[in-house]
Amino acid sequence: MRLQLYLEAPERVPFDYLPTLVGAFNRWAGHDARRHDGLSLYSLAWLRGARAGRGGLYFREGASWFISAPDTELIHQLVGGVVREPEIGLGLRVRDVRMQNAPAFAAGEQPFRVASPVFVKHEVDRDKPADHLLPGHELADELLTATLRHKLRQAGRDEAGATVRFDPAFIATAKSKLFRYKQVQCRGSICPVLVSGTSEQIQFAWEVGVGHSTGIGCGALM
């Protein structure tokens, strides 16, 4: 399921707004140790509708944002949280919220565009910073697939046959995006992906996103 949020954004929004969105999500969802300490079985998109300007982003016609998760109880908790506290921070305020059911996906291979950069992290040595892999790297698709299968197992779903790969038709023109979450610099990719599997596995990917750090705004699919 997906929660579509439409926001008032009368003020300039700084480029590094992701922690504010994550903070709003956590307030609305309430404390759950399993969710905070485990894998992120949900995904957060980036704000849409912006025009970049000096010192930040401007949303002349308001902003839109979505949160997705296979857990309908979580989505309903979020709706209740939004009703109680529509203020997000940075001048952002929810003016409308709508729930969206997942599309009826067919089994096979499904193309997706991304609503936030796909972040693929590869730890070679625990004593060194992780590599951030981009489309075309020989390990990128393998790690995308491994992460989705790990989340399927965590959710008690069948992982057999599920795969994710960057769409080879777009790899040559894919753009990388350097962004910061708090004090950590990350590099993700703006590149469509192909998800293969059963209809249930494809829906799960649509809801939880792909790659690492979907809980802080990476790898949301549309």
**Which residues, 6+ apart, have CB-to-CB distance to 10 below 8 Å?**
91
Cα→Cα distances 94→74, 170, 203, Å? 18, 34, 26
The one-letter code for the residue type at 214 is: T
Strand partners, 106: none
Q: Which pTM was predicted?
A: 0.94
The domain limits of the chain are: 2-100, 108-216
Among all chains, which residue has been given the structure tokens 């992906």?
A: 193
The one-letter code for the residue type at 1 is: M
* Domain 108-216 -> CATH class: alpha beta
Could you say which architecture CATH assigns to the domain 2-100?
Answer: 2-Layer Sandwich (3.30)
pLDDT tens over the chain, length 222 residues = 999 999 999 999 999 999 999 999 999 998 775 665 568 999 999 999 999 998 899 999 999 999 999 999 999 999 999 999 999 999 999 999 999 999 999 999 999 999 999 999 998 877 778 899 999 999 999 999 999 999 999 999 999 999 999 999 999 999 999 998 988 899 999 999 999 999 999 999 999 999 999 999 999 999
Name the strand (E) or helix (H) holding 94: strand 92-100
